[in-house]
Amino acid sequence: MNLLARMPRWGVHPAENKAQSTARPIRQAPMPAQLILPMQQHIGAPAEAVVATGDRVLGGQVIAEASGFVSARVHAPTSGTVTSIVEHAVPHPSGLSEPCILITPDGLDEKLAPQPLPAYQQLEPAIVLEHIRNSGITGLGGAGFPTAVKLGSVRDAKIEYLLLNGVECEPYITADDRLMTERASQVVGGALVLAHLVRPQHTVLVVEDNKPDAIAALRLACQGTAAEVRVIPTRYPSGGEKQTIQIVTGREVPHGGIPADIGVVCTNVGTAAAVHRAVVDGEPLVSRIVTLTGNALAEPGNFEVLLGTPIRELLATCAMDATNLDRLIMGGPMMGFALPSPELPVIKTTNCILASAPGELPAAGPEQPCIRCGLCAEACPAALLPQQLLWYARANEFERAEKHHLFDCIECGACAYVCPSNIPLVQYYRYAKGEIRHAEQERIKAERSRERFEFRTERLAREEAEKEARRLERREAAKRKAAGKADPDAAPATAGTSPEVQAAVERVRQRKAAQADDGSQES
């Protein structure tokens, strides 16, 4: 099929800035002095700690269990002692803290014995899936969705395409590029494991045309396998899941649906490599490749980093010039967010740390009024109307914004990139999404409160009615008793009492009768 004919006209082409970090191969980051492991490094419910302060843990040991359906395990990256389980600052746009497990490595790097699944091709897919779940693997492309849940949701759907997303369209980031160049066999091996799980008709590794080394390495690794390599033209954000699927297969993921609905499963190449490590080498997810780049670093490059490594130590490894540092960004220049301090850890979704020098990423000019030029609508990869979404978000008309498919926005930033008025469009959409979600939660809470209130009113009414009924019954019983007492010689009610009691009652009655007779005789 003619790929160029299918290449859509959306998107932008910012300066790539990838050469700085691809000059050298992947290096191993030095062992850090401390590891900070947040309980939530994925989409879904936070994991729950299963170790206590003071425990010694080995590399690969489970330190937090998944809680709930959409959740993932956390493993200890290396051997050491758990120093504390506290709230610690985590890499999140809010800058707030979350529960984290802090581990001090002992430097011995003792690992648990690896538990691979040999000859996985003969095993039931469910067993392989369980193994992936137990290895704590989440999407390493940036979103962090638990991989086992994504693959499990495919179930019986017929999958035509298994796409391995090696597009990496965002500027500066080269982690996937180096991974595919140097560890192509791992990537392809992981793709084949995933293919065993979802049984697609085509297994395709998708790469942008600005990565010639990666393409060559992957093509070599794919020889003799069912996997193939597809090269697509460089354009941001063609690496978004829905955009990659549209370019390669021509199909669009329906609104509110998942790719499995149209017979496609898409995972990142880093995730595939992690799957290969888990299934074939038997090691859980404890490290990832991170790009350290930016003009504030003297020695930028890609590193294999243990999860939980403080960013400060990585910046030191890259010989960062602190006086030349303008901003510290986690992620790329389009979709990343600024970090308040380098004391934060690397987590599963950290694909890049960008230490920019002053002037490298200049701040956008002041926001000016929208001139309704429509460039944003041309750039949007999801075919939305960013201009209308802006007006509605500004005017707090969230219902209309939702009707204009606000939740289909992938927050890629292409619209803000082209805006001649420097309007921070994505920030408006994030604000609107937050307000809508908040309002929905409030509505659900209010509904529950109303139900509880109505139940309570009903309960009180019922208790009142029961009390009234009992009161009536007692009154009736008292009336009956009074009617019974009007006849003094009648035998007192002794039915159901023991013989001794009955004898005693009889004695009293006779004594009373005798007294009455004496009284009547005397008078």
Partner 1 sequence: MSMILTAVLALMGLAVVFGAILGYAAERFRVEGDPIVEQIDALLPQTQCGQCGHPGCRPYAEAIADGEPHNHCPPGGEATIVALAELLGREVLELDEEHGEVKPRTVAIIREDECIGCTKCIQACPVDAILGAAKMMHTVIESECTGCDLCVEPCPVDCIDMVEIPQTTQNWHFPLPGSAPGLIATDRQGAITS
Partner 2 sequence: MTEFALILVSTVLVNNFLLVQFLGLCPFMGVSNKLETAFGMSLATTFVLTLSSICSYLTYRYLLLPLDLVYLRTIAFILVIAVVVQFTEMVVRKTSPLLHRVLGIFLPLITTNCAVLGVALLNLQKQHGFMQSAVYGFGAAAGFSLVLILFSAMRERLAAADVPEPFRGSAIAMITAGLMSLAFMGFAGLIRF
User: Where does this chain bind partner 2 (CB under 8 A)?
Assistant: 369-370, 391-392, 394-395, 397, 400
Q: Which one of 28, 153, 396, 515 is in contact with partner 1 (CB under 8 A)?
A: 396
Q: Which one of 2, 94, 223, 323 is in contact with partner 1 (CB under 8 A)?
A: 94
Q: How far is the CB of 298 from partner 1 (least distance, A)?
A: 33
Q: At what angle do helices 269-276 and 175-182 cross, to 10 degrees?
A: 50
**Which of partner 1, partner 2, none sits in contact with 392, Cβ below 5 to 8 A by type?**
partner 2
Q: How far is the CB of 10 from partner 2 (least distance, A)?
A: 24
**Which of partner 2, partner 1, none sits in contact with 364, Cβ below 5 to 8 A by type?**
none
Pairing of strands 62-65, 48-49: antiparallel
Binding of residue 427 to partner 1 (CB under 8 A): yes
**Which of partner 2, partner 1, none sits in contact with 445, Cβ below 5 to 8 A by type?**
partner 1
Place of tokens 């392989």: 128
Q: Which stretch binds partner 1 (CB under 8 A): 157-165, 262-270, 274-282, 427-435?
A: 427-435
CA distance 368 to 358: 24
Q: For residue 34, report the phi and psi dihedrals to the nearest 5 degrees.
A: -150, 150
Q: What angle do CA 456, 462, 464 make, to 5 degrees?
A: 105
The tokens for 370 are 């929208």
**Which of partner 2, partner 1, none sits in contact with 437, Cβ below 5 to 8 A by type?**
partner 1
8 A C-beta contact, residue 285 and residue 75: yes
C-beta closer to partner 2: residue 371 or 439: 371
The tokens for 358 are 């002053």
Q: Which one of 10, 120, 161, 428 is in contact with partner 1 (CB under 8 A)?
A: 428
Q: How far is the CB of 440 from partner 2 (least distance, A)?
A: 21
DSSP 33-55: S-EEEES--SSSSPPEE---TT-
C-beta closer to partner 1: residue 33 or 444: 444
Q: For residue 76, report the phi and psi dihedrals to the nearest 5 degrees.
A: -75, 130
Give bridge partners of residue 302 from the DSSP assignment.
Answer: 291
CA distance 363 to 355: 15
**Which of partner 1, partner 2, none sits in contact with 428, Cβ below 5 to 8 A by type?**
partner 1
Residue 502 region, left (φ>0) first, then alpha (ψ -120 to 50), else beta? Answer: alpha
Q: How far is the CB of 424 from partner 2 (least distance, A)?
A: 16
Binding of residue 446 to partner 1 (CB under 8 A): yes
CA distance 294 to 21: 9
Residues making contact with partner 1 (CB under 8 A) = 40, 90, 92-94, 96, 98, 366-370, 394-396, 423-424, 427-428, 430-431, 433-435, 437-439, 442, 445-450, 452-453, 455-456, 459
